[in-house]
Amino acid sequence: MTDVIRQIDISYYVYLSILLFCIGVLGVLIRRNAIILFMCIELMLNSVNLLFVAFSSYRGDANGQLFVFFIMVVAAAEVAVGLAILVMMYRNTKSVDVSLLDKLKN
């Protein structure tokens, strides 16, 4: 399926990933549920992955796809540790509201 690369300009993928990244940022800003925040971070990571893959395919260069592979590895580890932190937070505060975690402020 090389015809996508010939038919569509790479700027389509650049704008699509910028849009997805900004939706992720918006989610991190307006939500308070820690699980939704994690999901928005995953969304941002995925948009960057999409951009990496797009550039790698348009250039015919395999390094970008290897970077995506490593980003996925780090994201999987991050989610495992993050959800463990979240379970512990729920156990201590009985809630997953991130705005309750302001004890370092004062």
Partner 1 sequence: MGVSEILAYALGIISVASALLVVFSKNPIHSVLYLIITFFSIAGQYVLLNAQFLFIVQIIVYSGAIMVLFLFVLMLLNLNKDTEPQKSNLFKFISIITACSLFISMIAMVKGVGNLNLPSEPDSQIGLVKNLGLVLFSKYVIPFELSSVLFISGMVGAVMIGKKETHDIN
Smallest separation, CB 94 to partner 1 (Å) = 10
Q: Report the site for partner 1 in 43-82 (rule: CB under 8 A).
A: 43, 46, 49-50, 53-63, 65-66, 68-70, 72-81
32, 89 contact by CB (below 8 A): no
Cα distances (angstroms) measured from residue 21 to each of 18, 26, 38, 42, 54: 5, 9, 14, 10, 15
Q: Report the site for partner 1 in 15-34 (rule: CB under 8 A).
A: 15-16, 18-27, 29-33
Smallest separation, CB 15 to partner 1 (Å) = 7
Q: What angle, rounded to 10 degrees, do the helices at 34-59 and 63-93 form? A: 180
Q: Is 39 in the site for partner 1 (CB under 8 A)?
A: yes
